[in-house]
Amino acid sequence: MKIKTFLNAQDMTVTKMSFHINKSPIHGNGLFASQGFEERDFITKTHFFINSYQAKIGNGWVNIKPDCMYNHSEKPNCISKTERTPDGQLQKNLYATTTIAEGQELLVDFRKDKDLEQPEEDWRKQHTHIK
């Protein structure tokens, strides 16, 4: 079990959140709740944005692993939101959109966040059990 301490993106209080990586019935490995979450709970920071002033590789989103290892579903229980930190930096945060039980996989509809990798045509055919 991986337990992390996060800064709550909404009220800037420190909160203990827990999740772990496990084999996913959807695709490869996934992110699973090690505790229950309520609707609108902040779960974790998943990506941060770098610009050309911060890195010589140019602008772009950087994955924070393992926090970004959630899978796609058309019936998600989480949402990825782009937000600004108090110092103006962009980051993506994962929030629960419904009650999530301990052991449940954390899922996001990638189509609702165009910055995330988008499902491709053959992806749907390979994963027809995913709704």
pLDDT tens for 53-73 read 555 666 787 777 777 788 989
User: Tokens for 55?
Assistant: 């890195």
Backbone dihedral angles phi then psi of residue 122, each to the nearest 5 degrees:
-70, -20
Backbone dihedral angles phi then psi of residue 126, each to the nearest 5 degrees:
-70, -25
Tell me the pLDDT tens digit for each residue of 75-103. Answer: 999 999 999 989 888 899 999 999 999 99
Residues with Cβ within 8 Å of 77's Cβ and at least 6 positions away in sequence, in order, are: 96, 97, 98, 100, 104, 106, 107
Tell me how far apart the alpha carbons of residues 85 and 60 are, in angstroms, rounded to a whole number. Answer: 17
52 — pLDDT class (breaks 50, 70, 90): low
pTM: 0.73
Residue from 1, 75, 5 nearest 33 by CA: 1
Domains of the chain: 2-126 (2.170.270.10)
Instruction: Give 128 or 69, the one with higher predicted confidence.
Output: 69
Q: Which of 16-30, 55-69, 89-103, 114-128 has the lowest mean pLDDT?
A: 114-128
User: What is the total residue count of the chain?
Assistant: 131
- Asked if residue 77 lies in contact with residue 98, where contact means CB atoms within 8 angstroms, the answer is yes
